[in-house]
A = this chain, B = another copy of it.
Amino acid sequence: MKENSLRERLLDTAGRLFYEQGYQQTGINQIIAEAGIARGSFYYHFSSKSGLLVAYLDRFVNNWIVGADIFLAEIIDPKARIAGLIRYRIANQKKNGFNGCALVKANAGLEAVDGELRKHIGELKQQMRDYVAAVISRSGHQKILSDEALTDMVVLLADGALVGTAIYHHTEDLEKAVELITALV
C-alpha cells in the first residue's frame, strides 16, 4: 500500500503546482523535489508528465463532485442549493488560492497543442455540468427559466466569475453571480 501513498503524494504536489504556476511552468524536477520523491519513482507511477496531468484532472473532477455533495448536504432548502453551487466555488477559491477552475486553466495553458486532451477536458467539464443540472432539476425552482436555461445560466455565470477570480484574485464576481442567480430561482 506504500505505492498508493507515494502516487497520491505526487498527485497532491503536482496538482498544487499545476494550479498555482500552470502546467508548462512546472517541471518534473520541481515536482519530485517538493514531493521528496526520486525521479525513477515518478516514472514508475506515471508514463509521462502529460499522463500525470490527466490523472490530476480526473481526480480533480472526482473530488469536486464528492466535495459538492458534502457542501450541499448542509443546505436544506433545495432552491438554495442552486446558489450553493456558487458558494461552494467561493469556498474552494478561498481555500486554494483564487486561480479559477483547474479544468479551464489547464485547457487555456495547452490549447491547440493537444486536441486529445482538450476533448478529455470537455468530457470532464460535462460531468460537472451534469451535476449542476441534477441539482437544478430537483430544486423545485420557480420556472422563470426552464431547467435547461437555468443550468446554462448557472454554468456560464460560474465560469465567467471564475475567470474574474483568476484575474483579480478575489471572489467579488462569484458573489455577484450568487445574487444574479438568487433572483432567478
B residues less than 8 Å from A109 (CB atoms): 22, 24, 108-109
Chain B residue at minimal CB-CB distance from A101: B163
Interface size class, chain A:
35 or more
Interface of A toward B, CB cutoff 8 Å? 20-22, 24-25, 97, 99-101, 103-105, 107-113, 118, 121-122, 125, 145, 149, 152-153, 155-161, 163-164, 166-169, 173, 176-177, 179-180
Known A21-B113, A24-B24; 16 more pairs at CB < 8 Å: A22-B109, A22-B110, A24-B25, A97-B112, A101-B163, A104-B108, A107-B108, A108-B109, A109-B109, A121-B167, A125-B167, A149-B176, A156-B157, A156-B161, A159-B163, A160-B161
